[in-house]
Each structure stands twice: as structure tokens, then as C-alpha cells.
Structure 1
């Protein structure tokens, strides 16, 4: 352990790698609500947060598991299309609360080209929210899972055994991965019609 008159122990959450206090300070100064995006190994979790000195308030939340439970989603719960749909769902809920402008909070995640976190933000923007995102390019084909469908089609022709193994969960849920783009469109329409 370092010692000496100039050594200062960092806050516990900073030492644990959970909070970047400088980023948080800038969010608080901006006085805007935050779109907090967290992607785990299994799910996409999106929250609309408002700063409060006593503790942040959660105004609205969307979890990718809702896609399967409420809207009949049969794909994976943490891939690019699920990220977009979860962001869209939160955007609709935020609009019902009359929230217009928010700031994206991606936490300690390092942004990279094609990252799912940007597809969550794009979903919220398409639902009608104003979120500054810079000049990040979003591939519309990836939103609808065309890259997954094309890979599945290629794999089925080249190695059917590997196709059945790799997409076993899709097939068990009753979805052929080649039909993913139309399935995304179907679930997106259900979300729009539900008026969540």
C-alpha cells in the first residue's frame, strides 16, 4: 500500500472500477436526465435516470427479457437487434413521461465502432428522444439482424451440423435465424402498437 503525505486513497467505487466520478460530475452539471445503458453477458438493461442529491431516481426502465415475455421475441436477449428494440421500448416509455432531451451514460464502457450500446441509443432516438450521439455510424441492416441471417444461411449450406449446433437456441424457440429480419420488424410493430 502506498504511503506518504501526497498519497490520497481514491473513492471505493472508483477503486472497484464501478464509477468514473469525473464523468458523473459532468452529467450532474449538465442538469439533464441520463439514458443509462448496461449490457451484461445475457441481457440489455436500459434506465432513464434523474439526478437527486439523496440518490438517483429511476424514471423508466426497459429490460431485454421483456421482449420475450411481452412481445414474443425469440432471438437472443443481448444481440444487436435486441439492443435496438430495448432502447426503442425505453424511448416510448420516456416519451409518455414527457421527457425529450437526455444524455447517454455508457458507464466505463470504451466506445468502439459497431458497439451494441450505440444501437440502444439509436433505438431511443428512433422512438422520439433527442440524444446527442456524435457521428457514430449505425448500420440499418444490423438493426434488423441481416448479418445474422446471412451468416446462418451460409453456415447451413456449408455445414448443417454446425448450423444446428450454433443456432440450437433459436431453433428451440421456434425461430429460423434466416427469418430474423422479418421477426425484428414484427416485434418492433408490436412494441409500437402496445403504446408502452
Structure 2
């Protein structure tokens, strides 16, 4: 069947569930940089990519692994607050490279209202990067800051202390009580904003 005139073997990355070439073609033809968001089992990765005849070039990149290493993040690296902070980082880095607008490349992700994908978008937009989107699809501030995690942790701690310790063992080991994640989120967010505010100030002084 694979050799018949009616059957065409799909490109490898499409077979592997990594690339939707129809959508990719439309975005590449637009000539606009793409905000590419991908998730692994543990991390969130965001890149701003520019397409050229020679191939794709990554202009800016951020991932949730570096949140802990560079900004002291103690929460999970794959949740909604982490996704927002990654978006904030990649947004600032894109702007520092002269990119002011990017279109969202969701790949083969299922688009879910208020999901982590749009937490990344919200972070990038708050950094100043223009990403066309519908406001209604963005997560609320309570989810971005992890208030839902804090509330769940608080209720679980009262109802089942042992399960609380099990579910949030990584938070506790890192020295963060999950009930305080919203406050910690704001602290890390401020660190990121201050870092890039200082970078912008230095750039302006050097001109």
C-alpha cells in the first residue's frame, strides 16, 4: 500500500506527532516570528523562532528548569505559575533582541481555555511582547499565581496530613509550604522583572 499511487507516507515529524505541516506552512508564509511552546513531563519550554530559507533560527528561549537555578523558584516546574514565569522570561528576551511581535505556535497541543499554554502567552504579553490572542482564553490571576494550589494544599493539610506530605513532598523538601506559593510566585516574578528592567536601563545608558 505504501508504494501505491494513492498513498503518500507522511513526513517523519508528522508521523511522530511533533509537527502539523499545514499549520506550520501558513505561519512560515506570514513571515512573522513564532512563539513556540512545548511541554515535557516535567518542564515548560518557550522559544521565539524566526523562519528563513536556510531554516529556523531561535531568537529567544526560556525553560522552567532555569527558574530554580537563576531565580530561586521552589515550586513545580511544569505547572501554571511556572508556565507564566517562562512566558515572562521569553518575552523579555525576545524584546531585548528586537522582536516585538510573535504569533503563537501551538504545534499539536490541544487548545484548552485557561491552560498552561495560555499562561505562557500571558507571561510574554505582560513582558511587552505582542502575541495576538483572545483575552477570554487566558488563565485568571488566581491560577497564574497558584492560588488554586495553595487552597487545595490548605484543605488537604487539614483533611489528610499524611497525604498532604506525600503530594507536596517536593515543595516541602525545597523549603516551600505550598500554601505560600502565591507569595513566592510574586517574589520570583519581581526578580525577573527587576533583572530585565536593569538590563534595559543599562542598554539605554550605553546609547
Which category of TM-score, normalised to the shorter sequence, fits these structures? over 0.9
Could you tell me which residue of structure 2 aligns to residue 97 of structure 1? 97
Could you tell me which residue of structure 1 aligns to residue 15 of structure 2? 15
Could you tell me which residue of structure 2 aligns to residue 174 of structure 1? 175
CA distance in 1, matches of 2:177, 2:64: 20
Shift of 1:3: 4.7
Consecutive unaligned residues of structure 1, counting only runs of 5 or more, are none
The 5 Å alignment of 1:79-158 reads 79-134=79-134, 135-158=136-159
Give the aligned CA root-mean-square deviation in angstroms: 1.2
More helix by share: 2
- Contact 2:122–2:138 (CA<8 Å) still a contact in 1? no
Consecutive unaligned residues of structure 2, counting only runs of 5 or more, are 200-207
Shift of 1:7: 2.0
CA distance in 2, matches of 1:146, 1:125: 21
CA distance in 2, matches of 1:156, 1:15: 45
Runs of 4+ in 1 over 6 A off after TM superposition: none
**Length, aligned pairs only:** 196
Q: TM-score, normalised by structure 1?
A: 0.96
The 5 Å alignment of 1:180-195 reads 180-195=181-196
Shift of 1:12: 2.1
- Which deviations, in whole Å up to 9, do the C-alpha atoms of 1:18-63 show, x marking residues without a partner? 2111111111111100111001111001111000122100111101
CA distance in 1, matches of 2:149, 2:35: 27
CA distance in 2, matches of 1:137, 1:54: 34
CA distance in 2, matches of 1:92, 1:161: 41
Could you tell me which residue of structure 2 aligns to residue 51 of structure 1? 51
Shift of 1:11: 1.9
CA distance in 1, matches of 2:11, 2:63: 30
Shift of 1:115: 1.5
- Contact 2:113–2:139 (CA<8 Å) still a contact in 1? no
CA distance in 1, matches of 2:104, 2:69: 26
